[in-house]
Amino acid sequence: MRNTELAKLGGLVGEWTTTLSNAWFLEPPGAEVPGTTTIEWLGESLLVVRSELGEGEDHSAMSLVIGRSDPNDAYVVLYQDDRGVCRKFAMTFGGGHWTMTREDPDFHQRFIADVEKDRILGRTEASEDQGKTWRKDFDLTFERN
């Protein structure tokens, strides 16, 4: 039986064309990195998000596992990428908005997105001063295939 709170994320399941854009670290300014994202169920209580961006030396891959702590009434996200990075995020989802945040000693991060039926418009931001000021890292756009 599917976890009722995770079932609310069912609209995310599917294949997505992904574009990373407006990144401070991309050259030339305005460059876009194409990619793909697959979101699927893992059992009844987890979602797995797998994204691949770029090609060749510029290729990167990342994965999220989204679950829920029912006693804490909270979504939990584990992130990992091909650099060997692993991070834990808190997550909210509802009313067309999806957020993931982490407040770790090294720095704070957040992903903020507007979710539509066939498109997700998101951005990632980072803070080096415990959330007092934020800089945008990049935009992520997901279009349903």
Model pLDDT for residues 21-42, shown as the tens digit of each residue: 999 999 998 999 999 999 999 9
Rounded to two decimals, what is the model's pTM? 0.94
Whole-number pLDDT of residue 58: 85
Whole-number pLDDT of residue 77: 98
Average pLDDT score over residue span 109-133: 97
Range with the poorest average pLDDT among 1-5, 93-97, 117-121: 1-5
d(Cα 129, Cα 107) in Å, to the nearest integer?
7
What average pLDDT does the structure give for the chain?
A: 96
Report the CATH architecture of 4-144: Beta Barrel (2.40)
- Do you find a cis peptide bond into 28, omega within 30 degrees of 0? yes
Secondary structure, 3-state, 74-95:
EEEEEEEECCCCEEEEEEEEEC
Range with the poorest average pLDDT among 3-7, 72-76, 136-140: 3-7
Please determine, for residue 54, whether its predicted confidence score (pLDDT) is greater than 90.
yes
Which band of pLDDT confidence, cut at 50, 70 and 90, is reported for residue 96? Answer: very high
- Beta strand 33-42 with 86-94 is unpaired
Model pLDDT for residues 58-87, shown as the tens digit of each residue: 899 999 999 999 999 999 999 999 999 999
Domain-wise residue ranges, the chain: 4-144
Question: For the chain, how many helices (H) and strands (E)?
Answer: 1, 10
d(Cα 51, Cα 44) in Å, to the nearest integer?
21
Please determine, for residue 16, whether its predicted confidence score (pLDDT) is greater than 90.
yes
Please determine, for residue 57, whether its predicted confidence score (pLDDT) is greater than 90.
no
